[in-house]
Amino acid sequence: MNFSQLPPSPSLHDCLDKIQSQTFRFFWDGAHPESGLPFDKCFVSGAPSPGIVSVSGVGFGVLAIIVASERGWVTRSQALARISTIIDHLRHSPTFRGAFAHFIDGSTNDVIRFSGRDDGGDLVETTLLMQGLICAREYFAGGTAREEKMRADITRLFDEVEWNWFTRGKDEALYWHWSPNYEWAMNLPIRGWNEALSCYVLAAGSNTHPIKPESYHAGWARSGAMRNGETYLGTQLPLGEPYGGPLFISHYSFCALDPRGLSDRYCSDYQSQAVAHTRINHDYCLSVPDYANAGVWGLSASDGPQGYGAHSPTYDRGVIAPTAALSSFPFLPAEAESAMRAMLHYGDGKLLGAFGFVDAFAPKADWVAGTYLAIDQGPIIAMIENYRSGLLWRLFMNAPEVRRGLKRLGFTSTTHSIAAEIPSPGA
């Protein structure tokens, strides 16, 4: 299962199999031995970050386990058992109006403060967790008692999230954080365009605590102000900040939400948005000699020589994140393959470890990260799988909460059917 087993001139199929399966080991072998919760970070040495679990990383880990089950790296029963264990521990972790904290302890399930006033519910982290859990509920659709219990537990966790509470009683944006100790002191509205599109889709699709469509239009879309329309390096960007920002913005929601043929009043095709964002990032990197000479591209949030940073064409610190190009296979497959092959051979394979590619590297500084991060490893597996089979896209887009949310917000899809109103699971 390691990269040394690849033939001298491996096919794309062989490369993707090895990358996905070895990266999966981060979420399986590298997880907490009792709770099964994947750690937020693991070091190349094999040591985990001390007990810290990111809730979004758990969501990406669940997606990875589904892919592993489908591709036979673990059995279906093993995958079901591991996800059931994860859910059992999540049910004993504190929530805040139904939302989970950013960080929890892998052993005790207790909240770990993310920053000074961030000790409560994090709605975006919760969304990325729910993406994984909803896909698991759709995947394990059998009639066994364990599958039925899993589905009921997932639906209960989702229904307990008080999405409308996070609008602060207004028909405006959702807010990222709420804490019983500091209430709304973080004061961060979730406004587009960024990685949090699924947050509004799930919030609108809730059967128990839905937001009003006005929150999406006035809050997320800013009444149309999230549109861009400018041209960068020869590519017109429909939405978002200049040059598109870090590439994770086009990965996190689209690990589960299918952008192909998805449109609303602000964007005629969200696939085109992701392709444009990726193209600009790629073309910018090719204009930088240190990247172009190494044959690599991809700027995103990652570790770096000076610490963690949200790297992009407008914030370039010389750091390439393998997740950026590898998670872009659904958008620029030829360019992603080229970067993949260059990274496989970079420094005679020094980017490769037990859990796949390291988090980042800096060609000019001859620096290689000694870490793997859950929020970067997870999208590699999910987005490559969506490129190869569309598995996670099919599962998520089949969920009643997702279809209901999309319909309520005025989305249409030429790829998936979105019914007018869909009953909740088990209704």
Tens digits of residue pLDDT in 236-295: 999 999 999 999 999 999 999 999 999 999 999 999 999 999 999 999 999 999 999 999
Per-residue pLDDT, 165: 97
Q: Are 193 and 249 in contact (CB under 8 A)?
A: yes
CA nearest neighbour of 330 among 252, 260, 235 = 260
Q: Are 90 and 53 in contact (CB under 8 A)?
A: no
Per-residue pLDDT, 171: 82
E strand segments, 221-355: 231-232, 235-236, 262-263, 301-302, 309-310, 352-353
Segments in 170-224 forming alpha helices (H): 197-205, 213-214
CATH architecture entry for 3-413: Alpha/alpha barrel (1.50)
Per-residue pLDDT, 4: 60
* CA–CA distances in Å: residue 322 to residues 49, 59, 197, 296, 388: 20, 20, 23, 9, 18
Give the number of other Cβ atoms within 10 Å of residue 92's Cβ. Answer: 10
Q: How far apart are CA 59 and CA 282, in angstroms?
A: 27
Per-residue pLDDT, 423: 54
Segments in 225-332 forming alpha helices (H): 270-286, 289-294, 322-326
Low-confidence ranges of the chain (pLDDT < 50): 1, 425-427
